[in-house]
Amino acid sequence: MAITWFSLFLSLLLLLHGYFAQHQRYQQQQGQCQINRLNAQQPSFQMLAEAGYTEFFDLNNQQFQCAGVSVFRHVVQSKGLLLPSYTNSPILAYVVQGRGFYGLMNSGCPETFQSSQKIQRFQDRHQRIEQFRQGDIMAFPAGTAHWVYNEGNEELVLVFLEDASNNANQLDQVAWRIFIAGKPHRALQHQGRQYGGRSYGNVFSGFDIEILSEAFGVCRETARKLQGQDDMRGHIISVQEGLKVIRPPFSQEQEQQQHGQYDPMNGIEETICSAKVRQNIDDPSHADIYNPHAGRFTTINSFTLPILRFLKLSASRGVLYRNSMMAPHWYSNAHSIVYITRGESRMQVVDHRGQAVLDDRVREGQFIVVPQNYAIVTQSGNGGCEWITFNTNDNAMINTLSGRTSAIRGLPVDVIANAYQISRDEARSLKFSREETLICPVSTRSLPPYEGVVSA
């Protein structure tokens, strides 16, 4: 009986410890979101490799810590291979430029791609490979090994977001990447100056060679090469002859999607092996909101890409034509991590105290974090602006402050008149003047000059 009571006491103690640990982590993250000032973020350093480099943004920046995410940018040369690796947190990636193909490896998933022995001397079998192109969103679950290859003639540019605060990560709130091949961190570069950096081994480098030899049934020399101790190419390597793999043509993949082969509502539950992990967000015909005079706005969430329900992430794509505006709005259930892919715009962000924490020009290649419930407005100049937004919720809810579906539009005229101390005619004008939903053109005289605009 005493043992039973002791077991119950121990179980309760562990339960309370887990609760307080989770509560403490929540409080820490809440404290990190007490931001008085936002700044557009540039890469802080590069990790160089044989066939490209990776640019990292400051992991210790308060904005990224608030959102619990890490962001970085891969630049892969033609015929470059980003070596296989896996992470402790889910990834959402956007293809800024280029095309290629990638593979995901999950233990237990079938090797559905295989060659014919009639054609090749040695038959190859491997898990599914998919092609991608500019404008694609790709979703990689935590712990799923993946690799990427650039088969185009131009540089491949990928923007990655890792959600370290996701429930899938049970380590500290830092995104970790574990390589299966190669020897990452060939060299580091900061503000044009190159440093020796620190080299890390791949996951095999910590195992004994004899153990690896037995585990794979290979000779000691092959087992030693698994560890990559003498490999100085870095995490992105060059494949001079081109990568030869088994894969369907890109047009066939598109045809399969158009004919509903990947339809999540076909009555067959998706598994991690067959789940659709890629969708294009750049196609104007897929826009959720479109204004021929101002721009468009497109979202991808767990309804359009069901695997995002598992990752708890979503994305949106904004395109503003010259002299246009995305109306003031806020996300009620998600942080927003915005990356400018082309052009520039003036962004204003207002916090819960009604204070402007950002009033600045944000340019191509920069990130900005907008915490949950902070209001934001984006205004393009003569060159227009395009961006991709990663949201920390699989169905991010947007609320507008002006326009046809806004909070102001939902109020009675008398409430507006009394709340703002204006006449009923002024209240009607405030409520009904804008018929656009989210994106609208603005007159050039209402655009403030970019010169002199500084961070608040």
Q: Are residues 306 and 370 in the same domain?
A: yes
Structural domain including 314 reads 281-441
Q: 109 and 158: one domain?
A: yes
Tell me: do 426 and 285 sit in the same domain. Answer: yes
| C-beta separation of 391 from 314 below 8 A | yes
- Whole-number pLDDT of residue 22: 38
Q: Measuring CA to CA, which residue among 400, 385, 380 is closest to residue 448?
A: 380
pLDDT reported for residue 255: 45
Instruction: Check residue 36 and give its pLDDT.
Output: 85
The pair of three-digit structure tokens given for residue 401, joined into one six-digit string: 């402050």
Q: For residue 260, is it within any domain?
A: no
Count of other CB atoms within 10 angstroms of residue 383? 14
Residue 264 lies in a domain: no
Cα 380 off chain centre by: 23
Helix (H) or strand (E) holding 377: strand 375-391
One domain, residues 322 and 389 = yes
pLDDT at 3: 43
Give the dihedral of Cα atoms 182, 76, 317, 69; nearest 10 deg: 30
Question: 413-420 and 424-432 are packed helices; what angle lies between their axes, rounded to 10 degrees?
Answer: 110
pLDDT digit string (tens) for 67-76?
A: 999 999 999 9
- 262-306 pLDDT, tens digit per residue, is 444 443 345 778 889 999 999 999 999 999 999 999 999 999 999
- Does residue 134 sit in the same domain as residue 181? yes
Is 39 a member of any domain?
no
Tell whether 181 and 75 lie within a shared domain.
yes
Residue 400 corresponds to which tokens in the numbers above? 């507008």
Residues facing 348 on adjacent strands = 359, 377
- For 85, 103, 182, 217, 237, the CA distances from 225, given in Å and listed in that order, are 17, 22, 9, 14, 15
Residue 197: the pLDDT is: 56
Same domain membership, residue 87 and residue 208: yes
For residue 28, the model assigns a pLDDT of 41
**Which regions of the chain are under pLDDT 50?**
1-28, 31, 119, 253, 255-269, 450-456
How wide is the angle at C-alpha 271 spanned by C-alphas 267 and 274, nearest 5°? 95
- Residue 296 covered by a domain: yes
Cα separation, 401 vs 421, whole angstroms: 18
β-partners of residue 92 are 139, 161
The widest CA-to-CA distance across the chain, in whole angstroms, is: 86
Residue 258 lies in a domain: no
Q: How far apart, in Å, are the Cα atoms of 92 and each of 3, 27, 41, 340, 348?
A: 48, 26, 19, 16, 25
Q: Are residues 407 and 321 in the same domain?
A: yes
Q: How many domains, the chain?
A: 2
Closest C-alpha among 352, 315, 312 to residue 330: 352
59 burial via Cβ count (<10 Å: 0-12, 13-18, 19+): middle
- The answer as to whether 261 is a domain residue is no
270 part of a folded domain: no
DSSP letters for 42-108: ---EEEEETTEEEEE--TT-HHHHHHTEEEEEEEE-TTEEEEEEEESS-EEEEEEE--EEEEEE-TT
| Whether 105 and 228 share a structural domain | yes
Are residues 384 and 286 located together in one domain of the fold?
A: yes
403 in any annotated domain: yes
**What are the residues facing 362 on neighbouring strands?**
345
Do 241 and 330 share a domain, yes or no? Answer: no
- If asked whether residues 305 and 411 sit together in one domain, one would say yes
Indicate which CATH number applies to the domain containing 96.
2.60.120.10
Q: Is 423 exposed, middle or buried (0-12, 13-18, 19+ CB in 10 A)?
A: exposed
Q: In sequence order, which residues have a C-beta less than 8 Å from that of residue 91 and are 6 or more positions away?
A: 138, 139, 140, 160, 161, 162, 163
Phi, psi angles (nearest 5°) of residue 66: -60, -50
Q: Which DSSP string corresponds to 408-455?
A: TTTS-HHHHHHHHT--HHHHHHHHHS---SSEEE--GGGSPPSTT---
pLDDT at 223: 95
DSSP helix/strand/coil, 161: strand
